[in-house]
């Protein structure tokens, strides 16, 4: 018997700040994992970033928030776009098929009608593996952002995007940060079309972006690719 087949990840998620019906999130995470993952449907709602009745999808969020009543920290958002870029998740969100989304404890699958794209994720204790599939003809992008502060650098030759997130409202250490590394498949990164953006959506020269609300949009040469990521609270080298 596969007990995971009987888990309804949406149960208890139909809540908002005025009415509690469970106050949980459809988290994908291994037992005692360092990170959890969840669809983000409305990042503007702060800790209420997922609701089962929302029809738009912004991406898959790396989160450490067990309940909307507890603030998140070191959060990141991973999304997909095609064609003309928008820097803010609220602007590049798109309609998604809630009925066909898979929200399991061990696996996420979500898709965007707008970009004809699908993103899948499987977590490990400190890492995760994405698989992204694009069907549209326009240039595909793998998008990385955070609701906090971030320094992120893309190195197409090494096939990596690495940096640190600073987002911890209740932390006594102002320098607390989460380091991360993402690695792409060989011959996948399109250096010429990869774009770093500032919070206002303007392009930043080079592939380095720093500050509040910044993002990185890695252009891809393949319509189907795998991206692996790892995190550390100690150093970027440990994440590698």
Residue 8 CA to chain centroid, in angstroms?
22
**Token code pair at residue 221:** 């040469």
Mean of all residue pLDDT scores within the chain: 90
pLDDT at residue 96 is higher than 80: yes
pLDDT at residue 67 is higher than 80: no
User: Residue 159 gets which letter from DSSP?
Assistant: T
Q: What is the pLDDT of residue 179?
A: 96
Q: How confident is the model at residue 99 (pLDDT cuts 50, 70, 90)?
A: confident
User: Residue 16 gets which letter from DSSP?
Assistant: B
Q: What is the pLDDT of residue 189?
A: 93
pLDDT, tens digit, for every residue of 126-174? 999 999 999 999 999 999 999 999 999 999 889 999 999 998 866 777 7
Tell me what percent of the residues of the chain surpass a pLDDT of 90.
61
**Token code pair at residue 62:** 């790396």
pTM of the model: 0.94
Q: How confident is the model at residue 16 (pLDDT cuts 50, 70, 90)?
A: confident
Q: What is the pLDDT of residue 39?
A: 96
Q: What is the pLDDT of residue 159?
A: 93
Q: What is the pLDDT of residue 55?
A: 93
CA distances from 147 to 43, 89, 112, 116, 139 (A): 8, 10, 21, 25, 25
- pLDDT, mean of residues 87-112: 90
Q: What is the pLDDT of residue 4?
A: 86
CA distances from 196 to 59, 117, 143, 193, 210 (A): 18, 21, 10, 10, 9
Q: How confident is the model at residue 8 (pLDDT cuts 50, 70, 90)?
A: confident
Give the count of beta carbons closer than 10 Å to the beta carbon of residue 228. 15
């Amino acid at each position: 018997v596969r007990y995971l087949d009987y888990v309804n990840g949406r149960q208890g998620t139909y809540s908002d700040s005025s009415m509690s019906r469970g106050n949980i999130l459809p988290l994908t995470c291994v037992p005692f994992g360092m990170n959890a993952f969840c669809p983000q449907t409305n990042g503007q709602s702060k800790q209420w970033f997922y609701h089962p009745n929302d029809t738009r999808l912004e991406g898959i969020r790396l989160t450490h928030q067990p309940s909307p009543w507890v603030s998140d920290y070191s959060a990141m958002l991973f999304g997909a776009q095609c064609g003309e870029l928008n820097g803010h998740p609220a602007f590049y969100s798109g309609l998604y098929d809630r009925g066909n989304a898979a929200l399991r404890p061990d696996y996420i699958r979500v898709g965007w009608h707008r970009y004809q794209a699908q993103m899948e994720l499987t977590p490990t204790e400190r890492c995760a593996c994405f698989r992204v599939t694009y069907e549209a003809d326009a240039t595909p992008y793998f998008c990385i952002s955070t609701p906090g502060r971030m320094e992120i650098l893309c190195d197409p030759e090494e096939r990596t995007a690495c940096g640190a997130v600073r987002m911890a409202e209740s932390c006594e250490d102002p320098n607390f940060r989460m380091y991360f590394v993402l690695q792409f498949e060989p011959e996948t990164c399109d250096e010429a079309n990869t774009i770093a953006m500032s919070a206002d959506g303007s392009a930043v020269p080079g592939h380095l972006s720093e500050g509040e609300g910044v993002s990185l949009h890695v252009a891809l040469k393949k319509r189907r690719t795998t991206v692996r990521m790892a995190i550390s609270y100690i150093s970027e080298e440990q994440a590698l």
